[in-house]
Amino acid sequence: MSEKKQKRSFVSEMLYNNPVFGLYLGICSSLAITTTLNNAIGMGIAVIVVLVLSNIVVSLLAPITPDEIHIPVYIVIIASLVTIVGMLMQAFTPQLFSALGAFIDLIVVNCIILGRAEAYASKNNVLDSAKDGLMMGLSYTFSLIAMSFIRQLLGTGVLSMSNPMTNAEIFSLRLIPEGYEIGIFTQQTGAFLTFAILAAAVTAYKNANDKKEVAKQKAKEAQA
């Protein structure tokens, strides 16, 4: 595969098929937990782990799973993995686990994970399913980080991050002077506003890129 095609494939996964801003999946957790970079990265890693592992297990079990019960089987697989991830987070990153709260358990019913299990992993081999889970997980994490970056910066004026295991501060930068923060971005209204702006930006990019592709195709046809 050429370098150009690899780049287009990456852009396609991160923007064209972005689960949050492109497919509008997993929006509830995206709006709720993107108040800090720590929350976004923690949730993103949890979803990546569950997505990759669930895709692998589903791909392995799909050929021997009866069609009548495949959805319940996938849910049991995902729920088991989420329980394991939640227990590990509670043991090693208790403060992050408390900050994310019930949204860890709600990964079980996250449309991204169940959707990829049903639409992709159940129909493809283990390696391709693992790659799909990784790309979708990274795309979801990218969405969370983008939202939390904007909300934390504009809402508090500070960008900060701490070690989830020791709670030791890694960095803390004040980029907006005190008194000039926009507090609404730390609230639910700010979450919806941030989501709307980023979703509109992704849509505008996709539309502009599609127009370029159509223009190139027409130019090729005219030359033929």
> For the chain, which residues make up each domain, given as ranges?
3-223
pLDDT exceeds cutoff 70 at 18: yes
> pLDDT tens, 116-154?
898 899 999 999 999 999 999 999 999 999 999 999 999
213 phi and psi angles, rounded to 5 deg:
-65, -40
Which runs of consecutive H residues, i.e. helices, occur in the chain? 3-11, 27-33, 37-61, 70-92, 94-100, 111-119, 126-156, 188-223
Q: d(Cα 35, Cα 105) in Å, to the nearest integer?
A: 19
Residues in the chain: 224
Task: Describe the crossing of helices 111-119 and 37-61 by its angle, rounded to 10 degrees.
Answer: 30
pLDDT exceeds cutoff 90 at 9: no
> pLDDT tens, 52-64?
999 999 999 999 9
pLDDT exceeds cutoff 80 at 3: no
- The residue among 169 and 192 whose pLDDT is bigger is 192
Cβ neighbours, 10 Å, residue 158: 15
| 56, 104, 122 from 72: Cα distances, Å | 17, 20, 13
Per-residue model confidence (pLDDT) at position 111: 82
- Mean pLDDT of the 190-217 span: 90
The secondary structure element, H or E, covering residue 171 is: strand 169-174
Amino acid 176 reads I
The pTM of the full predicted model, rounded to 2 decimals, is 0.86
- The residue among 24 and 11 whose pLDDT is bigger is 24
Q: Which of 98-107, 121-130, 160-169 has maximum average pLDDT?
A: 121-130
- Mean pLDDT of the 209-214 span: 86
Residue 120 near residue 62, CB atoms below 8 Å: no
Q: How confident is the model at residue 210 (pLDDT cuts 50, 70, 90)?
A: confident
pLDDT exceeds cutoff 90 at 164: no
Q: Which of 89, 100, 119, 99 is nearest to 25 (CA)?
A: 119
